[in-house]
């Protein structure tokens, strides 16, 4: 267990070889990870008077208003199938993201769980990043993706 504070989280991530820093404007710990030549910023901050830790990675592409319904639908479908659902959408900020929340007990963080959440976020971005990006930029629709998945399942 590690202390539930910014300095301990920063130290832990650096020990795990992440190029973590503290964002001066917000006081959040963050680092950038790459998947498929895309850079995903992952931010970590405390909530609810220190009872929750949020880990959130943003997809590095701007969301256009006209694709919001399709992107929302895709993220909902993905969350339905995941053991740890965490896809979300910020309509006002124009961003899709993947988020995990970790409960803090007695001002201590389980470092194994913290590391697993970081890995989960990276895996979600790697696994679904290209599909989400295709819908985000309007290159395909959820209906097209569902049709292709059904055809693949039927072997056609």
Question: pLDDT per residue over 97-153, tens digit each?
Answer: 999 999 999 999 999 999 999 999 999 999 999 999 999 888 899 999 989 888 888
pLDDT score of 49 more than 80: no
Query: Right CATH number for 2-154 from 1.10.3080.10, 3.40.50.1220, 3.30.1460.70, 3.40.228.10?
Result: 3.30.1460.70
Report the 10 Å Cβ neighbour count for 2.
Answer: 14
Higher-confidence residue of 105 and 50: namely 105
Residue pLDDT, tens place only, 65-81? 899 999 999 999 999 98
Q: For every residue of 36-103, which 3-state class applies, written as one string?
A: CCEEEEEEEEEEHHHCEEEEEEECCCCCCHHHHHHHHHHHHHHHHHCCCCCEEEECCCCEEEEEEEEE
Q: Is the pTM of this model over 0.95?
A: no
- pLDDT at position 63, please? 86
- Cβ-count burial 110-146 (b if 16+ within 10 Å, e if not): eeeebeebbebbbebbeebbeebbebbeeeebbeebe
Q: What are the backbone angles phi and psi of residue 102, rounded to the nearest 5°?
A: -115, 125
Element (H, E) at 133: helix 111-136
pLDDT tier, 156 (very low <50, low <70, confident <90, very high otherwise):
low
pLDDT tier, 3 (very low <50, low <70, confident <90, very high otherwise):
very high
- pLDDT at position 83, please? 87
For residues 55 and 101, what is the distance between their CA atoms, to the nearest angstrom? 6
Higher-confidence residue of 107 and 50: namely 107
Tell which residue, 45, 41, 39, 48, has the closest CA to residue 9.
45
Residue 35: both structure tokens together: 């998947």
Q: What is the mean pLDDT of residues 3-19?
A: 95
For residues 27 and 55, what is the distance between their CA atoms, to the nearest angstrom? 14
């Amino acid at each position: 267990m590690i202390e539930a504070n910014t300095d301990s989280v920063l130290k832990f991530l650096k020990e795990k070889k992440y190029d973590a820093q503290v964002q001066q404007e917000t006081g959040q710990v963050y680092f950038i990870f790459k998947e498929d030549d895309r850079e995903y910023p992952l931010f970590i901050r405390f909530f609810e008077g220190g009872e929750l830790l949020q880990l959130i990675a943003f997809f590095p592409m701007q969301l256009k208003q006209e694709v919001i319904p399709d992107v929302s639908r895709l993220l909902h479908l993905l969350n339905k199938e995941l053991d740890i659902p965490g896809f979300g959408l910020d309509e006002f900020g124009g961003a899709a993201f993947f988020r995990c929340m970790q409960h803090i007990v007695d001002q201590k963080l389980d470092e194994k769980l913290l590391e697993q959440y970081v890995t989960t976020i990276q895996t979600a971005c790697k696994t679904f990043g290209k599909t989400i990006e295709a819908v985000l930029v309007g290159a395909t629709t959820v209906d097209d993706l569902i049709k292709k998945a059904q055809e693949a399942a039927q072997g056609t």
